[in-house]
Amino acid sequence: QSDVSVAELLAAFWNWADTYYVRDGNPTKELKSLREAIRPLKKLYGHTNACEFGPIALKAVRQSMADSGWCRTHTNHQINRVRRVFKWAVESELVPPSVYHGLQAVAGLKRGRCEVRESEPVKPVPAAFVEAVIPHVSAQVATMIRLQELTGMRPGEVVIMRGCDIDTTGEL
């Protein structure tokens, strides 16, 4: 356990992840996100003994991510992926549980309490774009689009909605 470097741990993790994060024979987007998350970890701490990687090191990786221009929420997501690598390492008995436990103590970056940039707010699609699409979709999809436009529903919420989910007892 004690002589595994972070780079060796990442190589072992990658061998596992390369087969785990696959759907229908194709790599998932998570694999690309993991690659991006572990790049600064490997650059800064690749030669470090994995058992010595702790909260201060994780905070340094987090700062490196922020310094490279990543927004606060993306940095937090990527740090969670780094933690997931060490969770897998504990599960695989490459590092002691205390390593992962220490990394869990590092809080995520909080809005307004750090110097990391915020992401741009997601804005609605311009009405002209919606109107341009409507003639090219089926009546069902057009109705779903209109419902989203009126209610602010997410696509997944519209797709799972059933007739029995709609209250038709009152006045329209």
Beta strands per DSSP E along 32-142: none
Sequence-distant (≥ 6) Cβ neighbours of residue 146 within 8 angstroms: 134
Which strand (E) or helix (H) includes residue 22? strand 22-23
The answer to whether the beta carbons of residues 19 and 66 sit under 8 Å apart is no
Phi, psi (degrees; rounded to nearest 5) at 21 = -90, 65
Query: CB neighbours (10 Å) of residue 102?
Result: 17
Phi-psi bin for 110: left (phi > 0), alpha (psi -120 to 50), beta? beta
The model's pLDDT over 62-108, given as tens digits with 9 standing for 90+, comes to 999 999 999 999 999 999 999 999 999 999 999 999 999 999 999 99
In this prediction the pTM is 0.76
The model's pLDDT over 143-161, given as tens digits with 9 standing for 90+, comes to 999 999 888 888 899 999 8
